[in-house]
Structure formats: structure tokens, C-alpha cells
Structure 1
Amino acid sequence: MIDILVAQIEERLGWGSGSEWSNRDFEELSDLIFDSTKKRLSVTTLKRIWGRAELVANPSSATLDILSEFSGYENWREFANSAATNTALLSKKKHVGRFHLPAIVLILMGIAILATIFGALTTRKSIDASEFEFKSRPVSDEIPNSVIFEYDASAADDLAIIEIQQSWDKNKRVAINRKDSVATSIYYRPGFFKSKLVVDGTIVKEHDVFIQTKDWLGVIERDTLPIYLKKEEIKDNNGVSVSHETLAEYGIDPKTTNVRSSLYLVKDFGGIYTDDFDLSMAVKNTFEQGLSGCRSFQLYVLYDGGAIGIPLAKRGCASNLNVLAFDKTIDGKKNDLSAFGVDFINFVSLELISKLGVARILINGEQAYTMNGPETPRHIKGIVIHFEGTGAVQNVELKSSERMFYSSGDTTL
């Protein structure tokens, strides 16, 4: 059925056989899937599905759901149930994947018949969330950090698909056994995550996973495991930064490789909430010759249940930017976000002020954007910064109208 789905996507795209696609074709497909579903599949994942990289015996249900949605179905289950009607696509291929056409047709006919008979004989249980249990706990205070999930899903139907979703991202769903009670997962980056117990696509329970940092954590992002920087590699007299020299020490040349470096400060700051806070800092992207030429920067303010995202880039790159305004994404291709274009010759003053449910973004003292906050104030949980290439942050302050909660120049806070 995966082969049929692949064939259907190839038919829709009209690019010919995926066995002949270039890396750029897979990059374009990744972008098309994101534009259509607002969910991202990496180039590596797509190549594996198409047999162009090391195969995965059982692709995740989340991956199959996204590909099915891109093909016009609600999810993988809906596509699989209708797969028997799609075998005509395979007649255009002498050989598909690891199976010949007759074998696939016979298998699908058998599946369709069994599904019809079994569906008529079986009445699925309705889902009552109160019958399920779910909780989690990190095992350490370091990064990476493993999390123990304890659950009781015995109330689910025998045929139910039980999954744990590690965060807001549906791509991070892992299938678990209904009869088990413990599952573990590893988190390679800090953050505040809403993990979920999912039964047949329905979220029945949620639990907070809070992966904290002791101080600022510097990371060189990679498709595989991230590189964690030592404290002395990111600290300077004025703040925190990731430098060209640090990248070179790890054998990374951002002139020839797309590189993203990150700074994380994720912790319990105390009683500071989204309805009354002021976050200010001076920022600079210090890499002048990145492959894209945009020198992009992103700030995320994490809170219980979501994030605020503020981008900066060179003035000519404003169309590529997106503002995450609490629960809304403001697309730079459909909105004027030119106020977020800067030159980075000097440090840029960036401030986010939220009062009485309205948040304002100020760039170099000028108001760039306003947004409405959530009706119920949410607890602020962290600050995350991403640079294209390298960058620096100075004079970070997080305060409310009553008190200072964090200042990069005050070690007592």
C-alpha cells in the first residue's frame, strides 16, 4: 500500500519515476508537502520512503498520515481502506517496490474482504478519556534527557492504534502496546512540551514534559544529533554567542554548508506570565556570507501551551519570514513583514512587551507588530534563539511590571 501511495504521488506531480529524482526534487516535494499540510517531512525521510536511502522497515504512522493527507486523504487509515480502488495506478509500472502487480492485487483484495467481514462482526468501543491514565517524568537535569512515560491504555479497543506524541508535533508520534504500561523517549533539545496519549487519532490525555537547562545552552543544529557546546565556548563578557571560530573547531564551514546555531535558556523563571512581561535584548547575526544571504535570526518565547516567534533577516528577505503570534502564524508571503528586515551592521535592539492581553514587538525602538495574547495568562517557560550561521545576544532581561526575573548581567537571579 505504501508503493501505491508513492505511485499516486508520482502521478500527481508528473515528475516521472522517483528513482530518477534529484536531491532538489525531494527538497521541492518536502516544501510542497509543507505548503499543503503545514507539516514537514525531511528530505531523508522522503528518500527512505522512495527507496533512495536506507529503508525503514516500518515508516511511522505520522509519516504515512502526512503523505496520505498530501494525496487528498484524511490520514493513512482512510487511504489504506480505499487502496484497493487505486491499484490501477500500478498498471503503469512493470514493477513497484519489492512486489509484482499480481501479488499486490491479490493482497489488497484479501485485505479488503477481511476488513469488510471483520468490520461487520466487530463493534468498536467508544473512547472515554476518563478510563485512560498518562503521566511522564524526566530522568535527569541534563541534555539529552530521557523521559519515562507511564500509561494505562487497557480500556482501548483491541484493534485501536495507541500512540504517544512527544510534543505539539504530530510527526513525533510513537506506537505503543496497549497491554504495556511504560514507554521511554529521549529529548535532544530543551523545551516545554505537551506530550499526549493518542488513541485512534484522538488525544485522550496530556502531560507536561519540561526539559530544562541550567543556564544558556549552545547547540550546533544538525539533521542527525546536535552538537552541544561547552559553556566557555558560548560565554563572553557581554552575553552569549556562537562564533565562526567555534564552528571551525568542530569542522563546520558555513560558507559551504547550511548551518543553524542555537541558544537555549529554558527554566522556571518564577511567576511571570504572558499578560505582563517585558523581554528585551540586543541581537546580531554575525555571519555575513551565508549560503542564503539572508542572515536570518529567530527568537521564540516559550509558554505553557505554545510559543511566540519573532524573526529578523536582511531587508530583502522579508518575504521568507513568519511571525508566530501566539496561536497564529503570520506568513510573510501574504503580509507585509518588512519591519522585520534589518542590516545587522550593528546590534539590533529587540523588545517584546505584553500588557493587558496585547503584545507589542519593538525593533530598534520602533513598533513592528502587535498581537492579542491568550485569554487565560500562560506561564513563560523559556527563551530559544536560532541563527543562520553564527550570532550573538547581549543584555537579555525578562521582567514584569513588578520585578526582574532574569538579567544576563545579574548572576543572583
Structure 2
Amino acid sequence: MKDHKEFIKESFKLIERKLSKGNIHSWETRDYQALSESIQKETGTLLSVSTLKRLSGKVKYGSRPNTATLNALAQYVGFKDWRAFVQDSEASNPPIQILTKAKSRNTKILLILLLVLTASTLALFVIEKNKLSYKSDDFVFKGKSVTTGLPNSVVFNFDASVADDDAKIEIQQDWDKRKRTLVNKNDSVSTSIYYWPGYFKSKLVIDDTIVKEHDILIPTAGWLGMIEQEEQPIYLDSMDIYRDKKLAISKETLLVHNVDPSVEKVVVGFYLVKDFGEIYTDNFEMNASVRNEYIDGLSGACQRVTVLVLYDGGAIGIPLSKSGCISELTLMTFEDYVDGKKSDLSGFGVDFSKYVALKCISKDQKFNIFIDDKPVYHFKVPETPKKIYGICIYFEGSGSIQHVSFENDSSTLYNSNFNLKKKRISN
């Protein structure tokens, strides 16, 4: 019987095919982050980036993974559990039997079948080789947003004329391969609509292989407030979110839009996405003063808040909640997810009867998080700096922001001014 590592290797081959991102050993951290999110969404099990790297062979490990981890991998590639996956693998690849003279007739039949299979395999190899022979330089793929604000459309200009006549050609909006649009080989323009702001890596995909990527910035016109919905958010007018020298979304605003946070879990978000200038992940300071003001019903049980700092290729995610709910928090670092069920995130439990001061300092390859001037967590910063493109702050129920700022060693690159009540365009 094969070693468990061989079965794990087979499962990652299936994952490679499912996600169409090429050989897993060429993946970057953001690819593992996307895989982690996708597995959690489909199976309900959170596998950290570091766990996935160990399992895939990117990082060496010695111990056998636990059953829950293996089950999640199996379920993600379409099996009931790990045992079902192993049984299917063994049935598909049975041990080779030694043939005797008494079975010579069967031997001839098997040899014929083997020749047919060999020919088929060679044909498939030639097809696969041709499919993988494309070079990135053979294609043109560019895109540009048409406006500032949301929704926003992107016009993609592409040239895929070198693709085979029967090739499947698609444009993918971001890391989510479900957001793909079929295009014609002889066309040169395609458009996509984006309902959320952010920094995205769109992709030109030929026969499920990514051949070209292009960065797309979907900026906001100042601060944007929205009520989060699965397919399309509800955008709020700036006059609805500027209140008494702060940004705020109230229960009354939600009710106007037929959303009741007392009977359903409601998430509202504030977005500021733009090019701040010369500010990078290896050297910056971010300050935010936030407060979740909703305490009733389903949305008010834990008073959760998540602050995302967006950068080229990913996001840092800092969670806050009432102290009794820290078990359900997840911290997003550059390379991993820190699960509150397996780690002590008690420092992120706060008292929202007043504004909570959040400070993040990235310096000397170390990222430090402070809450109300108290150090609560730190983690390593990757050596390669990435440009910062924005901040998103989410509240479960409702909430408000009193202050936000970004700075580097030499200057303050953004300092909020919410004293713009009833203004339609804001800082």
C-alpha cells in the first residue's frame, strides 16, 4: 500500500487541475491564500497557508496530518472523506500482478490493451504538450477601468491569435476562477463589471492555463460605504455616512434599505481604495479609531469588526470583537491565517463602549499590532515590499470610524478629515 504522502501528492494533482494555476511548486503565497479561502468556503474547514505549504511539499514536514485536514482535502476534490479518496485511488491504480503461462491467452489480450493504452497516453501527452507550449510573450493582455467609483467596468484589450483554433479562451477577473468570461480568439476587446473596489490580478486563460496577468485597480471616489450583499452590495450616498465628524452607518440607514440587523446577520463596510503614493508593506504605520455600536439581535451578539489593509497581492486582516467572542476570530498575516480556536487572540477582545484605537507598525521585517497603545500581536514581514492600495473596515451590524491615517518614515500620506458632513465627495 502506498505511503500517505503519495496519496496527498495525488490530491494536490487534482487541486492543480481544479484551480488551473499550474504546477503547485511554482505557486506564490497569494495562491495558497486563495486555496485556503476556497477550501474553507467549500468544506467549512480552515487550512492555514503554512499547513497547505507543508502538505503540498513546498515546505518539508515529518508528521502525519490529522484526519480532519485529510478529509478537507478529499472533500475539496469531490470525495466524501479521505478514506473514500484513498479507496478510489487504489482502485484506479491496482498493484501489478505477475502473469503465469497458464494465463498466456489473457496475457496477449492484456498486451493488446497495453499497446492501445500506450498509444492513447502518447496522444494525450502530445496534446498536453501542445497545450502547455504557449509562452506569455505570445499574448497581449491589458485592461483599464473606465471611471472612479462603483460599479466600475474594465475594458480588456487582448490578442490571443496564436492560440489553437479550438482553444478555450477566457478572461478571469481576479483569483476566483468562477469569474471567467469566454472570449473569441479573433476578438480583441472584452469588458467586465466590478461591484467591489480593490486591487485585482486579472488573467488571460487558454485551455485552463493562465498565460498572462494584468493588475487592475478599482478605486473609490473618497470613502465609500456599503451594505454587503452576496451578488451586489447596496451603495450608500456619502450624505448617509458622514455624521458628526465621523463616518457612520446607523441602524436607521439599514432599515431604510429594508435590512434589519436584529433579525439577520448584517455586515456593512467602509472602503478607501487609491494610490497613496510611496507606501509599502515593509515600512509603514496605520492608525484607525473604530467602534461597533450595535448590540442587539443577531448582528450585535459579538460586535465584530475587521480591518483590512490592501496591498499588491493580498491583504492584512485584523479582527476585533467583544472579549467573549475571540474564539471565532481569524487574523490574516502576510502568509497565514491565525485561527482563534487554535491560538490565543484574547488581545483582540475589546470594549466598544468607547472608540478603540488600532495601530499597526511595519518596520525591520516585523509587523506589530497595538490596541489602545497595548501590544497584542506581531508577525514577520516578507522581505519583498508590496505597495499598499487601500483599507476596508467591516462592521457586523453597524459602526463608525473616527480617524484613519497612513504614514511612512518621511511623511503622512493620508490623514482623514471627516468634518465634511453632507458633502458628496470626501476624503
TM-score, structure 2 as length reference:
0.68
Q: Could you list the runs of 4 or more consecutive aligned residues of structure 1 that deviate by over 6 angstroms after TM superposition?
A: 115-118, 410-413
Displacement of 1:142 after TM fit?
A: 2.5
User: Which residue in 1 is equivalent to 2:355?
Assistant: 347
Matched, 1:315 2:323: yes
Q: Is residue 306–residue 327 contact of structure 1 (8 Å, CA) maintained in 2?
A: no
Secondary structure at the aligned position of 2:298 is classed as coil
Matched, 1:363 2:371: yes
Q: Which of 271, 275, 287 matches 1:268?
A: 275
What letter is aligned with 1:35?
A: T
Displacement of 1:175 after TM fit?
A: 3.1
Describe the superposition over 1:34-70 as per-residue Cα deviations: whole angstroms up to 9, x where unpaired.
42789xxxxxxxxxxxxxxxxxxxxxxxxxxx99843
Describe the superposition over 1:69-102 as per-residue Cα deviations: whole angstroms up to 9, x where unpaired.
43159xxxxxxxx9xx9xxxxxxxxxxxxxxxxx
More off after superposition, 244-253 vs 326-335: 326-335
User: Which residue in 2 is equivalent to 1:70?
Assistant: 77
What letter is aligned with 2:130?
A: R
Q: Which of 130, 155, 160 matches 1:124?
A: 130
For the residues of structure 2 that align with 1:327 and 1:121, how far apart are their CA atoms? 37
- 5+ residue gaps, structure 1, are 1-28, 39-65, 74-81, 86-111
Q: Which of 220, 236, 241 matches 1:229?
A: 236
Q: Is residue 239–residue 408 contact of structure 1 (8 Å, CA) maintained in 2?
A: no
For the residues of structure 1 that align with 2:267 and 2:292, how far apart are their CA atoms? 11
Displacement of 1:217 after TM fit?
A: 0.5
For the residues of structure 2 that align with 1:67 and 1:200, how far apart are their CA atoms? 25
For the residues of structure 1 that align with 2:139 and 2:244, how far apart are their CA atoms? 51
User: Which residue in 2 is equivalent to 1:33?
Assistant: 43
Matched, 1:338 2:350: no
For the residues of structure 1 that align with 2:409 and 2:187, how far apart are their CA atoms? 48
What letter is aligned with 2:179?
A: K
Q: Which of 213, 228, 246 matches 1:206?
A: 213
Q: Percent identity?
A: 46
What letter is aligned with 1:163?
A: E
Describe the superposition over 1:307-339 as per-residue Cα deviations: whole angstroms up to 9, x where unpaired.
111111111221211111123222222222121
For the residues of structure 2 that align with 1:235 and 1:302, how far apart are their CA atoms? 23
Displacement of 1:129 after TM fit?
A: 1.5
Inter-CA distance 135–401: structure 2 relative to 1 (3 Å threshold)? same
For the residues of structure 1 that align with 2:401 and 2:228, how far apart are their CA atoms? 18
Matched, 1:407 2:423: no
For the residues of structure 1 that align with 2:256 and 2:314, how far apart are their CA atoms? 35
- 5+ residue gaps, structure 2, are 1-38, 49-72, 81-88, 93-116, 420-425
Q: Which of 138, 160, 170 matches 1:163?
A: 170
Q: Is residue 40–residue 46 contact of structure 2 (8 Å, CA) maintained in 1?
A: no
Q: Is residue 238–residue 395 contact of structure 1 (8 Å, CA) maintained in 2?
A: no
Calculate the aligned-residue CA RMSD, in Å.
3.0
Secondary structure at the aligned position of 1:204 is classed as strand
Q: Which of 122, 141, 155 matches 1:134?
A: 141
User: Which residue in 2 is equivalent to 1:239?
Assistant: 246
Displacement of 1:116 after TM fit?
A: 8.3
Relative contact order, CA 8 A, sep 6+: which one is greater?
A: 2
Q: Is residue 42–residue 76 contact of structure 2 (8 Å, CA) maintained in 1?
A: no
What letter is aligned with 1:395?
A: H
What letter is aligned with 1:362?
A: F
For the residues of structure 1 that align with 2:334 and 2:203, how far apart are their CA atoms? 20
Q: Is residue 43–residue 75 contact of structure 2 (8 Å, CA) maintained in 1?
A: no
